[in-house]
Amino acid sequence: MIRDMDCTKCVSKGCRTSVPCQDNKSDYLAEYQNDEIRFVTATASSLVDNGRAGNFSRLQEIIAYMRGMGYRKVGVAYCYGMEKDAALLREQLTAAGFVVHMVSCTVDRVLESEVDLNKSKPVVSCNPLGQAAQLNRLEVEFTLLMGLCLGHDILLQKNLAMDFTTFVVKDRVFKHNPIQALYEPSDPTEI
């Protein structure tokens, strides 16, 4: 039986000591011995072990992770509104030794009326399915998401054939720092 869970309200924090409030690890623990998962776990651990946690920017972490995983050919799915930033990212990734494929959200010039039959203006639409298809065709080994709209990022992720992570989350109000909304909360009735 699944019960409600809210770890933020837990007082004992038993999962951090020796007596967790639940123990379902038998459902998945053996999967950690899968070679691929072991490699990802070891690479991720290398970024935080031995005092390394907090010493790298997100970009530095991503570069170290990609190197650790042995990736050479990477993709960036970006919002055209961040093209200048995407070009800077391309420069940094290229300088770090990666072959980089940049795919804008407007790839293939799909019109809004082709995506949403309720629209009729001939306006270019974001095209996360096209971005995913292009990155899959290019056979990139790893993809970074950069500033895609909410929903578009989900469609892209569902259709990528490779591993991926987010480099930038779009948040126009807080200059792409969405956690700031927790410290400057808005009125939820305004939504």
What is the predicted pLDDT for the residue at 2?
62
Question: Which residues 6+ apart lie within 8 Å of 108 measured at CB?
Answer: 127, 130, 134
Residue 1 reports pLDDT greater than 80: no
Q: What does the pLDDT look like over 46-91, one tens digit per residue?
A: 998 877 888 899 999 999 999 999 999 999 999 999 999 999 999 9
Position 29, amino acid? L
**pLDDT digit string (tens) for 95-128?**
999 999 999 999 999 999 888 888 888 899 999 9
pLDDT over 90 (residue 189): no
Helix (H, G, I), strand (E, B) or coil at 130: helix
Please list, in sequence order, all residues whose beta carbon lies within 8 angstroms of the beta carbon of residue 125, skipping any fewer than 6 positions away.
Answer: 106, 110, 111, 112, 114, 115, 116
**What does the pLDDT average to over 19-28?**
88
Give me the pLDDT at residue 187, please. Answer: 83
Q: What is the pTM of this model?
A: 0.90
